Structure 1
Amino acid sequence: MHWQSIPVTVTRSHRARKVWLKMRSCQGLEIVLPYRVSTSEVPAILERHQKWIQSHLAQLSARNEAPGQNPLPEAVELPFLGRAYRVQYETGPRTRLAVTGDMLRIFLPQGETLAGALVLQRWLVEMGKVNLAPLCRDLAAAHGVGISGVRVRNQQGRWGSCSARFGISLNAKLLFLRQELARHVILHELCHVEHRNHGPAFRSALRKLDPLTVSHESEIRRAWDELPGWSKLRAKGG
């Protein structure tokens, strides 16, 4: 459905206790409903949150990430690596990406914008496996933290996580951060191996490993909104 020319998708969640609105880069508005809320209430929800919707739409437009805008970048900057890549698009029968020095060549069928974004995401994950995973293992060893493994994915909602079996999962988007910020996220997850919540013991342990925790956390909170739109696109049905 559309509302004032904005694509709107409605989903339900067993975990949702209230209505959630999410303005997704390049894709439009998602409304998450608890099962107790009828879809017949959607028009009223849209009207009630009109100012919020328009405000967030304006923010996306300023970053060229509003619905209908082309999210594919002309360049990709990875501050973690201190590198920038130019991106060249070529028409081809199937989607693929080739790296030549600092050039990313993306081949994709005509008009397959989403496919271009997804192949860039897969490349980002591979770069994360090569660069983020070794850093995590090195930091774990340096601080005597036992972990069962490291995974790198293109996660949608968090920078990282620590499983009950002490496996660390890192978001490939950490490559968009400076190294000291990515390092803080990794240390945060390593602290969860011993401290499963964010209580005083966890905070104390994290500050010992990173004395600049407060300022780093502030920067990291702001960084999510500044991520490029193509990195946040999801496959249809995903």
Structure 2
Amino acid sequence: MPDYIILEQHGEALKVPVRRSQKAKRIGIRITYKSSVELVLPSGVKPEIGHKFLLSKEHWIRKKLQKAIISSQIPSNIIPILGKSYNMLCHQADDNSVKLQHECIEVYSRDNNYHDVLKNFLKGILLQKIIILAAPIITEYKLRYNKIRITSNVSKWGSCSSKGNLSFNWRLVFAPEEVLQYVVIHEICHLKEMNHSKNFWHLVSIIEPDYLLPKLWLRKNGHLLNYHLNAAISL
């Protein structure tokens, strides 16, 4: 069995070290946040089986490595909230709570579940901000919505249903405020135009003439918003 296997079907040549393990009960692929990968083989598994398994997982491996690279580029213990950066501090406590002040955000958790405690807090901040941003537009253009929801949808930043429900991806809390404002305007305009026709974009441009800038920012940087929470808490 060679010391490494080269993967090159779905990109540039990737050298994957092979390690035998007497403790391993099944074939495994180990990926670290230092952007490295290795194939772990139980002592009794034939080399060709491990080789075949690794080749079948190449697409998955490259996707995981890309995520690891992106995560490593985001500063740890720092989190952006609507365009402002805060230093993260986590404390064990009797109750779950979050304190946001000046340039620091402190997360308290009784069971070290800082991730969920902070996520719920950020959802609340985002909902409050969206309501504030939406109110004057709704009033000025005499529109009406049913309710606003904060979701964990990974494929959309926002949506507007036929019933007038406005939904927004909670990760928008990590975007600059002008980007969030664009998404809010975008979905509100769907209350009048349930499409992306010329009339729709004309209405968007009336409310926000410079909408192309935040739209471009989201297209270029949106994928980074998926990693800020984990990086901040150093998971």
Equivalent in the alignment of 2:77: 74
In the TM superposition, residue 193 of structure 1 has moved relative to its aligned partner by 0.9
Asked if 2 retains the 8 angstrom alpha-carbon contact of 1:161 and 1:170, the reply is yes
Instruction: Provide the rounded CA distance (Å) in 2 between the counterparts of 1:201 and 1:161.
Output: 18
Q: Could you tell me which amino acid in structure 2 is paired with residue 86 of structure 1?
A: N
Equivalent in the alignment of 1:120: 118
Go from structure 1 to structure 2 and tell me whether the alpha carbon gap of 1:104 and 1:181 turns closer, same or farther (over 3 Å shift). Answer: closer
Asked if 2 retains the 8 angstrom alpha-carbon contact of 1:117 and 1:230, the reply is no
Asked if 1 retains the 8 angstrom alpha-carbon contact of 2:77 and 2:89, the reply is yes
Displacement over 6 Å in runs of 4+: 43-46
Bigger Cα Rg:
2
In the TM superposition, residue 186 of structure 1 has moved relative to its aligned partner by 0.9
Equivalent in the alignment of 2:67: 60
In the TM superposition, residue 72 of structure 1 has moved relative to its aligned partner by 10
Q: Could you tell me which amino acid in structure 1 is paired with residue 67 of structure 2?
A: L
Secondary structure in 1 aligned to 2:188? helix
Post-superposition Cα deviations, 1:167-204, rounded to whole Å, max 9, x if no partner, equal 22223322222222211111110111122122333233
Equivalent in the alignment of 2:101: 101
In the TM superposition, residue 121 of structure 1 has moved relative to its aligned partner by 0.8
In the TM superposition, residue 208 of structure 1 has moved relative to its aligned partner by 2.9
Secondary structure in 2 aligned to 1:90? strand
Aligned residue pair count: 187
Runs (5+) with no aligned partner, structure 2: 1-25, 33-50
Q: Could you tell me which amino acid in structure 1 is paired with residue 69 of structure 2?
A: A
Secondary structure in 1 aligned to 2:192? coil
- RMSD of the TM alignment (CA)? 3.5
Runs (5+) with no aligned partner, structure 1: 8-42, 234-238
Asked if 1 retains the 8 angstrom alpha-carbon contact of 2:79 and 2:229, the reply is no
Instruction: Provide the rounded CA distance (Å) in 1 between the counterparts of 2:52 and 2:149.
Output: 42
Go from structure 1 to structure 2 and tell me whether the alpha carbon gap of 1:190 and 1:3 turns closer, same or farther (over 3 Å shift). Answer: farther
Go from structure 1 to structure 2 and tell me whether the alpha carbon gap of 1:230 and 1:46 turns closer, same or farther (over 3 Å shift). Answer: farther
Asked if 2 retains the 8 angstrom alpha-carbon contact of 1:137 and 1:150, the reply is no
Secondary structure in 1 aligned to 2:156? coil
TM-score normalised by L of structure 1:
0.63
Instruction: Provide the rounded CA distance (Å) in 2 between the counterparts of 1:163 and 1:45.
Output: 43
Task: Give 1:17-56 correspondences, 5 Å limit.
Answer: 47=55, 50=58, 52-56=59-63
Asked if 1 retains the 8 angstrom alpha-carbon contact of 2:109 and 2:117, the reply is no
Go from structure 1 to structure 2 and tell me whether the alpha carbon gap of 1:100 and 1:194 turns closer, same or farther (over 3 Å shift). Answer: closer
Identity value in percent: 17
